[in-house]
């Protein structure tokens, strides 16, 4: 987008000559007044990322080239100068904690943003949210946060908050993205982000580890995480008596409750005792939390699809045919990014990478399968990020003005998509019309592979064994007609004895 620009701000967005003409005719007096002052020029404009509105120290923007900029407001300038002088930003980047960040020298950009300092960040391939992560991904992010805190404290810096949204993943590796959350450490200061760390990292992990309850739906419905009060209400008396629970959660919550019930009395005590936490004690606290979280594992509950990659209705030869089909599909179309719907433990995501894909995002509903997929990505060092998804209810745009956290369709557009052994879970299990399922899958990418699973397949027969068959239009002919309306079928191959078929499409 381009705009008429004064020395202070962009006045009018301009996309076409027609729009320019209308703006000129409607605003010609203002235009010529600006022209007289020689303060009018046409430059590139940028749009603020909606989720960055909370930070008073600076906001994040992106332009039409997908470059990511961060402004530094007047309240942060002195701190930023100190950070530069101490070299803490470069040290954090070099140590692998902070996303690559550099200061921009462009005078035009500084004028556009009306700030003396503009930073440019490396673009994260895909923004994800903690309610989309598997248990092991949230665990990895929590450990990463604690390690970064200790790294900063060793250099007399700390983090001003502990929000999980400041951590993103590039493949399976976590990275910190909010440089303005790094601030100088004040002697014996409190851990400012402690409550946030509990709500957004520890409490969700404990919910899954102690109670066997996946945190994702709860977290998505409460964007600030899971409160300590709510978590404690789910625990048994025996669990509450665990010394770590008592130390890190119960005692803290009691202190918080006193502040809520008797704020004046609590304030007097705070004023009377201004001592904070010595750095040595704070580091010890971080170390204990790190040791505790590192040992946490989700409750091992048997799920329907967690062993699907090993125990399914087709043999090893059929599995190999699918993997080869995916690998050749990626190589032939030179696809760099790919979405794998129903990725399970990641067999075909890995096949896509072997075919030349540089980045694969997998989605699945089964928590155990996702954990196995993530651990596979770590063990084999794959650029593969598996995420939790209820495809019948994808992550919506939500938060403030329903735009603070962007929905699934706004964030996951890729070169290619594969949906293997997937469509029948929506069309049969969720009663979603087959043509709508195909429309949704093909909207993700121009190139794709969709597996059609016929009614006589053992998996579908099992799904229909306890319910009425109300799907007269669920057949190969209807599938092909629906797919042909939206794209060109490039290739198809029968890959199982039951008649499963892989369809390669290209959307026009």
- Is residue 123 in a domain? no
The closest of 429, 465, 448, 452 to 504, measured between CA atoms, is 448
- Same domain for 335 and 482? yes
- Rounded CA-CA distance 494/481 in Å is 17
* Number of residues written out for the chain: 508
Mean pLDDT over residues 189-195, rounded?
89
Q: What is the pLDDT of residue 137?
A: 98
Mean pLDDT over residues 1-15, rounded?
34
Question: Percentage helix, strand, coil, to 5, in the chain?
Answer: 45, 20, 35
User: Which CATH number covers residue 493?
Assistant: 3.40.50.150
- Same domain for 281 and 334? no
- Same domain for 364 and 475? yes
- Is residue 112 in a domain? no
Q: Are 388 and 357 in contact (CB under 8 A)?
A: no
- Same domain for 459 and 326? yes
- Is residue 89 in a domain? no
pLDDT tens-place string over residues 401-434: 898 999 999 999 999 999 999 999 999 999 999 9
- Same domain for 269 and 334? no
pLDDT tens-place string over residues 144-176: 999 999 999 999 999 999 999 999 999 999 999
Q: State yes or no: pLDDT of 188 exceeds 70.
A: yes
| Cα distances (Å, whole numbers) of residue 492 to 27, 421, 503 | 58, 15, 4
- Is residue 37 in a domain? no
pLDDT tens-place string over residues 78-124: 999 999 999 999 999 999 999 999 999 888 778 878 888 999 999 99
Q: What is the pLDDT of residue 59?
A: 86
Mean pLDDT over residues 439-452, rounded?
97
Domain limits for position 386 = 316-507
Q: Where among 295, 329, 345 does a domain terminate?
A: 295
- Same domain for 347 and 467? yes
Q: Are 201 and 145 in contact (CB under 8 A)?
A: yes
Q: Where among 295, 324, 359 does a domain terminate?
A: 295
- Same domain for 349 and 479? yes
Q: Number of folded domains in the chain? A: 2
- Same domain for 291 and 343? no
The DSSP code for 420 is: S
Give the pTM: 0.86
The long-range contacts involving 51-59, CB below 8 angstroms and separated by at least 24 positions, are 51/165, 51/399, 51/403, 51/404, 51/405, 51/406, 53/400, 53/404, 55/178, 55/180, 57/180, 58/115, 58/180
- Is residue 350 in a domain? yes
């Amino acid at each position: 987008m381009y705009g008429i620009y004064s020395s202070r701000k962009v006045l009018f967005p301009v996309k076409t000559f027609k729009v320019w003409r209308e703006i000129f005719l409607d605003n010609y007096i203002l235009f010529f007044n600006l022209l007289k002052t020689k303060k009018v020029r046409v430059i590139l404009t940028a749009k603020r990322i909606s989720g960055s509105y909370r930070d008073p120290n600076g906001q994040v923007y992106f332009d039409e080239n997908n470059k990511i900029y961060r402004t530094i407001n007047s309240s942060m300038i002195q701190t930023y100068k100190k950070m530069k002088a101490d070299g803490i930003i470069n040290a954090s980047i070099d140590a692998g904690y902070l996303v690559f960040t550099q200061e921009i020298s462009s005078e035009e950009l500084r004028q556009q943003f009306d700030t003396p300092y503009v930073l440019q960040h490396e673009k994260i391939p895909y923004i994800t949210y903690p309610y989309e992560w598997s248990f092991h991904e949230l665990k990895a992010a929590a450990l990463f946060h604690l390690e970064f805190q200790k790294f900063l404290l060793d250099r007399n810096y700390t983090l001003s908050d502990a929000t999980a949204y400041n951590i993103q993943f590039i493949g399976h590796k976590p990275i910190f993205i909010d440089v303005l959350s790094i601030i100088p450490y004040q002697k014996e200061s409190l851990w400012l982000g402690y409550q946030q760390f509990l709500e957004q990292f520890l409490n969700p992990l404990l919910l899954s580890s102690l109670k066997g309850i996946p945190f994702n739906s709860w977290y998505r419905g409460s964007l600030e995480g899971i409160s300590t009060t709510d978590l404690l209400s789910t625990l048994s008396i025996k669990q509450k008596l665990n010394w770590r629970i008592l130390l890190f959660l119960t005692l803290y919550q009691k202190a918080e409750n006193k502040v809520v019930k008797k704020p004046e009395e609590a304030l007097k005590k705070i004023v009377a005792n201004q001592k904070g936490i010595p750095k040595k004690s704070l580091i010890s606290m971080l170390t204990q939390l790190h040791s505790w979280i590192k040992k946490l594992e989700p409750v091992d509950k048997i799920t329907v699809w967690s062993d699907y990659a090993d125990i399914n209705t087709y043999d090893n030869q059929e599995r190999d045919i699918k993997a080869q089909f995916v690998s050749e599909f990626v190589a032939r179309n030179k696809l760099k990014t790919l979405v794998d719907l129903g990725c399970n433990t990641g067999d075909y995501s890995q096949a896509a990478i072997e075919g030349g894909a540089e980045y694969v995002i997998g989605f699945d509903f089964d928590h155990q399968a996702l954990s196995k997929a993530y651990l596979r990505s770590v063990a084999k060092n794959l650029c593969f990020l598996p995420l939790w998804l209820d495809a019948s209810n994808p992550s919506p745009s939500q938060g403030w003005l329903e735009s603070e956290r962007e929905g699934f369709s706004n964030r996951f557009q890729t070169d290619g998509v594969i949906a293997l052994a997937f469509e029948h879970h929506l069309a049969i299990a969720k009663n979603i019309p087959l043509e709508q399922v195909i429309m949704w899958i093909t909207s993700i990418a121009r190139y794709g592979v969709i597996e059609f699973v016929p009614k006589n397949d053992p998996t579908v027969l099992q799904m229909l064994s306890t319910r009425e068959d109300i799907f007269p239009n669920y057949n190969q002919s209807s599938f092909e007609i629906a797919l042909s309306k939206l794209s060109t079928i490039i290739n198809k191959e029968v890959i199982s004895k039951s008649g499963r078929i892989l369809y390669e499409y290209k959307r026009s």
